[in-house]
Structure 1
Amino acid sequence: MSTKQDRILIFGAGVIGSMYAIKLIEAGFDVTLFARSNKYKSLRENGLRYEGKGTVRSIQVNVIDTLENDDIYDFIFVTVRYDRSESALLALKDNQSKNVVTMTSNSMGFSSWLDIVGDRLLPAFPGFGGQIKDGVLHARFLPKIIAATAFGEINGVVTERIENLAKIFKTAKFPYVIKKDMQSYLITHSVSDIAMLSVLQSENKIIDKKTARTRRTARKITVTLKAYLRAIQKAGVLIDPPMLKMVLNFPNLILDLFFMTWLRTNMVRDMMLPDYANNANNEIVLLSNDLMKFLNPNDIKPEIIH
Structure 2
Amino acid sequence: MSTKQDRILIFGAGVIGSMYAIKLIEAGFDVTLFARSNKYKSLRENGLRYKGKSTVRSIQVNVIDTLENDDIYDFIFVTVRYDRSESALLALKDNQSKNVVTMTSNSMGFSSWLDIVGDRLLPAFPGFGGQIKDGVLHARFLPEIIAATAFGEINGVVTERIENLAKIFKTAKLPYVIKKDMQSYLITHSVSDIAMLSVLQSENKIMDKKTARTRRTARKITVTLKAYLRAIQKAGVSIDPPMLKMVLNFPNLILDLFFMTWLRTNMVRDMMLPDYANNANNEIVLLSNDLMKFLNQNDIKSEMIY
Task: Judge same fold: TM > 0.5, yes or no.
Answer: yes
- Of 209-218 and 63-72, deviating more is 209-218
Residues 107-126 of structure 1 deviation map (CA, whole Å, 9 limit, x = unaligned): 00000000000000000000
Deviation at 1:144, TM superposition (A): 1.0
Look up the SS of the partner of 1:138 in the other structure. strand
Matches within 5 A, 1:100-249: 100-249=100-249
Query: 1:296/1:60 Cα in 2 relative to 1: closer, same or farther (>3 Å)?
Result: same
Kept after mapping to 1: 8 A contact 2:270/2:276: no
Give distance in 2, aligned partners of 1:253 and 1:203. Answer: 27
Query: 1:93/1:250 Cα in 2 relative to 1: closer, same or farther (>3 Å)?
Result: same
Residues 179-234 of structure 1 deviation map (CA, whole Å, 9 limit, x = unaligned): 00000000000000000000011111111111111111111110000000000000
Kept after mapping to 2: 8 A contact 1:227/1:302: no
Kept after mapping to 1: 8 A contact 2:100/2:120: yes
Deviation at 1:297, TM superposition (A): 2.0
TM-score relative to the length of structure 2? 0.97
Query: 1:124/1:58 Cα in 2 relative to 1: closer, same or farther (>3 Å)?
Result: same
Deviation at 1:86, TM superposition (A): 0.2
Deviation at 1:301, TM superposition (A): 3.0
Residues 21-50 of structure 1 deviation map (CA, whole Å, 9 limit, x = unaligned): 000000000000000000000000000000
Look up the SS of the partner of 2:56 in the other structure. strand
Query: 1:217/1:30 Cα in 2 relative to 1: closer, same or farther (>3 Å)?
Result: same
Look up the SS of the partner of 2:4 in the other structure. helix
Residues 34-84 of structure 1 deviation map (CA, whole Å, 9 limit, x = unaligned): 000000000000000000111100000000000000000000000000000
Kept after mapping to 2: 8 A contact 1:75/1:101: yes
Kept after mapping to 2: 8 A contact 1:50/1:138: yes
Give distance in 1, aligned partners of 2:271 and 2:293. Answer: 30
Deviation at 1:272, TM superposition (A): 4.2
Look up the SS of the partner of 1:123 in the other structure. strand
Query: 1:6/1:305 Cα in 2 relative to 1: closer, same or farther (>3 Å)?
Result: closer
Q: What CA RMSD, in Å, does the superposition of the two structures yield over aligned residues?
A: 1.3
- Of 202-211 and 66-75, deviating more is 202-211
Deviation at 1:266, TM superposition (A): 1.1
Give distance in 2, aligned partners of 1:142 and 1:4. Answer: 32
Query: 1:198/1:112 Cα in 2 relative to 1: closer, same or farther (>3 Å)?
Result: same
Match of 1:84 in 2: 84
Kept after mapping to 2: 8 A contact 1:3/1:168: no
Residues 89-141 of structure 1 deviation map (CA, whole Å, 9 limit, x = unaligned): 00000000000000000000000000000000000000000000010000000
Task: Give structure 2 stretches of 5+ with no counterpart.
Answer: none
Task: Give structure 1 stretches of 5+ with no counterpart.
Answer: none
- Of 159-168 and 269-278, deviating more is 269-278
Kept after mapping to 2: 8 A contact 1:224/1:304: no
Deviation at 1:15, TM superposition (A): 0.1
Give distance in 2, aligned partners of 1:177 and 1:21. Answer: 19
